[in-house]
Amino acid sequence: MDRAESALSRLRTACSAEKGQETVQASPPLAPTHVGVGRTVAKIILFGEHSVVYGYPAIALPLRNLRMTARVTPTPGPSMLASLGWSGPLDQAPDRFSSIVRAVEATLDFIGRPDAHLSITTLSDFPAERGLGSSAAAAGAVIRAILDAFDVEADAEDLFELTQTAERVAHGHPSGLDATATSSATPIHFQSGQATPVQVNLATWIVVADSGVHGSTRETVGHVREQHERSPETTRPLLERLGEITQQAIADVQLGDVQGLGRKMNEAHALLAQLGVSDDHLDALTEAARAAGAVGAKLTGGGRGGCVIALADSAASAARITEALGAAGATGTWVYAPHAYEVAA
Ligand code: PMV
């Protein structure tokens, strides 16, 4: 029995109640009784992408202004999906939606309604395949919307497992960082499947810039795995060093050492480039950010496309960095002032 099945069996047990001699089975309704809504958010990885897959720590910040919303309604015909400008029958959805399709199947199995016919839409404030966690956010939002439509409650562990089931289709061997960070209310320290909130005490602005290039996390994770298998003697030290930097960065984040954090971001970017997950666009954007005064800059997420993040020590500096990133080819930028990521909304 895999973990989604065991979650289902827990749900069934929870739905059974003893009433005198009689056992009453409380089941979810056959079809949704109201519109189901699920919400998640984008995330950035401050430190630890790729090395987190090998058990090293990571720090991630949910970006609560970049939301993913899913809506679910019953439909008489076959299940339908509308997402990222595509719409059609769920069973004919292109490959890029395979993790959403898996999320729907796993959630309907979880609630014991595998044959339910649903109309599902997702609406996102942020671009897909840019290292901002859109696949986990979409799966997480759809899972929550289905549960909401059927009035079924699930605990954090079940939600994580359902999202991971979908993420395995998207990424192969996801660490679980995205599944956790895209539904977290606080910045997190994540390691080996365990997340703990991190107190962020930074008087720093974070600029996120989109290279405009689609990244494939499945490919970059696969590339690092192959390299690790082929040349462990050169790959292992890079992952270990990323792990060390992240561990030290946790202290910097808590103590507010912006300069220390910036130096570590620059080193992390160089290590990720050595692992082969940067590209010319990401290198150019990080260099442009540093030249414009960033305290540090690195790629964030799977890499080879996607986004970079840069640290600025004032709002004016963040504005200069944003302009420089635009001039260097960024297709979109977002600036986070300290209060935007320090505390839960
Ligand atoms: O590119 P994203 O947002 O899916 O982030 C992937 C993070 C990795 O560490 C590269 C993979 C993982 O499973 O943690």
CATH code for the domain of 298: 3.30.70.890
- Same domain? For 63 and 144 the reply is yes
- Same domain? For 270 and 146 the reply is no
Say if ligand 1 is within 6 A of residue 133 CB.
yes
Q: Is residue 2 part of a domain?
A: no
Q: Is residue 30 part of a domain?
A: no
Say if ligand 1 is within 6 A of residue 52 CB.
yes
Q: Is residue 55 part of a domain?
A: yes
Q: What is the tens place of the pLDDT at every residue in 45-75?
A: 999 999 999 999 999 999 989 999 999 999 9
Say if ligand 1 is within 6 A of residue 163 CB.
no
- Same domain? For 135 and 234 the reply is no
Whether 148 is a known active-site residue: answer no
Q: What is the tens place of the pLDDT at every residue in 276-335?
A: 999 999 999 999 999 999 999 999 999 999 999 999 999 999 999 999 999 999 999 999
Say if ligand 1 is within 6 A of residue 178 CB.
yes
In angstroms, what is the span from residue 182 Cα to ligand 1's centroid?
A: 12
Say if ligand 1 is within 6 A of residue 84 CB.
no
- Asked if residue 1 has pLDDT above 70, the reply is no
Q: What is the tens place of the pLDDT at every residue in 124-139?
A: 999 998 999 999 999 9
Residue after which a domain boundary falls, among 195, 215, 236: 195
- Same domain? For 293 and 228 the reply is yes
Q: How many residues are recorded in the chain?
A: 345
**DSSP alpha helix (H) spans, the chain:** 3-15, 98-111, 134-149, 156-171, 177-181, 217-230, 232-255, 258-274, 280-291, 315-327, 338-342
**Angle (nearest 5°) at CA 127 between 72 and 34:** 10
- Asked if residue 7 has pLDDT above 80, the reply is no
Residue after which a domain boundary falls, among 163, 195, 227: 195
- As a whole number of angstroms, the distance between CA 205 and CA 311 comes to 6
Residue after which a domain boundary falls, among 195, 221, 249: 195
Range of the domain at 113: 36-195
Q: Is residue 23 part of a domain?
A: no
Q: What is the pLDDT of residue 104?
A: 98
Q: What is the pLDDT of residue 304?
A: 96
Say if ligand 1 is within 6 A of residue 72 CB.
no
Q: How many domains does the chain have?
A: 2
- Same domain? For 168 and 227 the reply is no
Cβ partners under 8 Å of residue 342, min gap 6: 187, 200, 201, 202
Burial of 219 (0-12, 13-18, 19+ CB in 10 A): middle
- Same domain? For 186 and 247 the reply is no
Beta bridge mates, 210: 307, 332
Q: Is residue 13 part of a domain?
A: no
Q: Which of 35-44, 64-73, 332-341 shows the lowest per-residue confidence on average (mean pLDDT)? A: 332-341
> Where does the pLDDT of residue 344 fall: very low under 50, low under 70, confident under 90, or very high at 90 and above?
very low
Q: How much of the chain, in percent, has pLDDT values that exceed 90?
A: 83
Measured from the Cα of 134, ligand 1's closest atom is 3
Q: Is residue 21 part of a domain?
A: no
- Same domain? For 49 and 190 the reply is yes
- Same domain? For 45 and 176 the reply is yes
- Same domain? For 40 and 152 the reply is yes
Say if ligand 1 is within 6 A of residue 74 CB.
no
Q: Is residue 271 part of a domain?
A: yes
How many C-beta atoms surround the C-beta of residue 216 within 10 A?
17
Residue 250: phi and psi, rounded to 5, are -60, -40
What CATH number has the domain bearing residue 136?
3.30.230.10
- Same domain? For 287 and 299 the reply is yes
In angstroms, what is the span from residue 32 Cα to ligand 1's centroid?
A: 33
- Same domain? For 95 and 143 the reply is yes
Measured from the Cα of 48, ligand 1's closest atom is 9
Q: What is the pLDDT of residue 237?
A: 98
Single-letter amino acid code for the residue at 91: D
For tokens 């950010």, the residue is 289
Q: What is the pLDDT of residue 15?
A: 37
- Asked if residue 171 has pLDDT above 60, the reply is yes
Q: Is residue 188 part of a domain?
A: yes
- Same domain? For 124 and 247 the reply is no
Ligand 1, atom 5, residue with closest C-alpha = 301
Instruction: Pick the catalytic residue from 148, 178, 252, 279.
Output: 178
Ligand 1, atom 13, residue with closest C-alpha = 174
In angstroms, what is the span from residue 214 Cα to ligand 1's centroid?
A: 14
